[in-house]
A and B are shown apart, each in its own frame.
Chain A
Amino acid sequence: MTTAVPTAVHVTAMHMSDGLVNAPTAAVFGLVAVVAVALAATRSRADLDDRTAPMAGLVTAFVFAVQMINFPILPGASGHLLGGALVAILVGPWVGTLCIAIVLVVQALLFADGGLTALGTNITNMAVVGVWVGYGVAVALRRVARRSRAGLLATAFVAAFLNTVVAALAFVVEYAVGGAGGASPGTVLVLMAGLHALIGIGEGVITAATVGAVASVRPDLIHLLRRGSTTSPTSPTGTASSAGAPARADEGSPA
């Protein structure tokens, strides 16, 4: 079923459209999304005080730009990064949730990408479930990630893969609760799990390579590797000194 994707297709994963789930379901997940974003806005101050909001803005702009970069999956089929696990590893789960949620809001309002009433389900799937699954997996494997570069890459891969698959499963749950179509949840489960396992491999490879690239230039920026990572400030002056990362800081950060 996953081969139903025609050639030269661009796999834009998981931006749900309006009418895919019924109104009560959309409302419930809308509420979930509002609460999650409000909580993330409050809690992200631990990682990012009011004065350093510009950095979160630039990270969000980065996520936005990254979603425009296509990478090949097979000849004729390309996809783009969703970035949930990536931001969770790089800037932490609260800021990550906020970044992805803001990207989704802007995409819905300015780019007609994802329905307005589906914004709640989209934020729940990608900004909450996706980011937190990615972060949970990464934290569970933090010991491995700190040990070696290969461990860090493997952690990033697994986190991003599971992030993608579980976010797709969240969609299946929403569809089972309030799906507006005539398909059985079982069919949707097989379709979504299969398709997103493939997408998840791509997401995992890109995320691992990206985290690896950041680790070799600015390991201090990787939230996951910081000691006592949830309280460490992200002040622009203290970045170079707050190490706690594997000793792979090559010279030559790009000017």
Chain B
Amino acid sequence: MGAGHSHPLHLPGTSPVHRLPAEVKIVAAFLGVVCVVLTPREAFAVFGGYLVVLAAVWAVARIPPGWMARRALIEAPFVVLAVLLPLTGPDPRVEWLGLSLSGPGLLGAWGILVKGTLGVLTSLTLAATTPLRDLLLGLQRLRAPAVVVTIATLMLRYADVIAAEARRMRLARLSRGHDPRFLWQVGATARGVGSLFVRSYERGERVHLAMLSRGWAGRMPLLSTERTTPRHWALGMAPVAVAAALVVTAWVTT
């Protein structure tokens, strides 16, 4: 129950990637994924190139590839869509292990899976190397509206508290014999959600009063005075440049 200073996907470290300002990493991750999305799905080898770029970043950030692989298995409901595409897609059909699969459907499924996976790996890299505080600082420096940054800050500070409260309520239900299996047995859980809202809201009222009494005037204090230099940007954009070169290669060759 740490007070919101860490998050489950963070891998603390002091590598150059960890020390890079968050806004540089957010922009770099975003542009990298844009390159992946822009790549034609027929350019099979180029997707391997993106993986090599990511692996290089992991090597610099000292993130074990196994750590990444385990967390990349995030439940992806759109995998269902990707599985269905080859079965329901248009002709021509391809025979495979006795199944008649759609050629364009297979290509579509491949595209969704490979781009989705590279996207998840990129987001994981960002999450692994960026602590909460830096992320908020990054949002602030990327000119997100002040009210958004304030809400996000408080949300991240209190998400653990509220989640822990929800966990305790669940434990309390379970220890009183609550074992819901069907949707119509969901009443107790839902009433728990209701009281969780009331408790969260009332906690918000108390937090607001506490902040007022400590001089809150509607703006978060500046989270850091450190400056982001062009060198940081150059460093962060290096993998993006490689990704851009890859996407251009893909366009030229396919």
Question: Which residues does A use to contact B, with CB under 8 Å?
Answer: 1, 4-5, 9-20, 22-23, 26, 37-38, 41, 44-45, 49-62, 64-66, 68-69, 71-75, 81, 90, 98-99, 102-103, 105-106, 108-113, 115-118, 180-184, 187-188, 191, 201-202, 205-206, 208-214, 217-218, 221, 236, 239, 253-254
Contacts and interface: CB of A to CB of B under 8 A. Distances in A.
Interface of B: 7-9, 26, 29-30, 33-34, 36-38, 41, 71-72, 74-78, 80-85, 88-90, 102, 104-109, 111-112, 114-116, 118-120, 122-124, 126-127, 130, 132, 135, 139, 145, 147-148, 150-159, 161-163, 165-166, 170, 180-187, 189-205, 207-209, 211-212, 216-219
Contacts of A239: 205
Contact of A209 (B111, B120, B193): B193
A64 B127 contact: no
Given A57-B151, A58-B207, A112-B124, 8 more contacts: A59-B197, A59-B201, A102-B148, A111-B9, A115-B123, A188-B81, A205-B183, A206-B190
A249 B219 CA distance: 35
Contacts, number: 316
B163 A12 contact: no
Most chain B CB neighbours (cut-off 10 Å) among A45, A90, A117: A117
Contact of B155 (A13, A61, A75, A117): A61
Chain B at the A interface: SS class: helix
A38 B193 contact: no
A56 B203 CA distance: 11
B190 to A, nearest CB: 3
A112 B218 CA distance: 31
Contacts of B151: 53, 56-57, 60, 98-99, 102
B119 A57 contact: no
Contact of A116 (B112, B122, B208, B211): B122
Give 4 closest A-B pairs by Cβ, nearest first. Answer: A213-B194, A19-B115, A57-B154, A18-B119
Contacts of A12: 75, 77
A123 to B, nearest CB: 12
B127 A112 contact: yes
Contacts of A208: 190
A209 B194 contact: yes
Nearest to B22: A109
Contacts of A236: 205, 208-209
Given A44-B147, A55-B204, A182 B104 contact: yes
30 contacts: A17-B112, A19-B116, A20-B78, A41-B148, A50-B218, A51-B208, A53-B151, A55-B204, A55-B205, A57-B155, A61-B154, A61-B156, A61-B159, A62-B196, A68-B163, A71-B190, A73-B182, A98-B151, A105-B139, A106-B155, A115-B116, A115-B119, A181-B89, A181-B111, A183-B89, A205-B190, A209-B193, A210-B190, A213-B195, A217-B198
Contact of B145 (A41, A58, A108, A117): A41
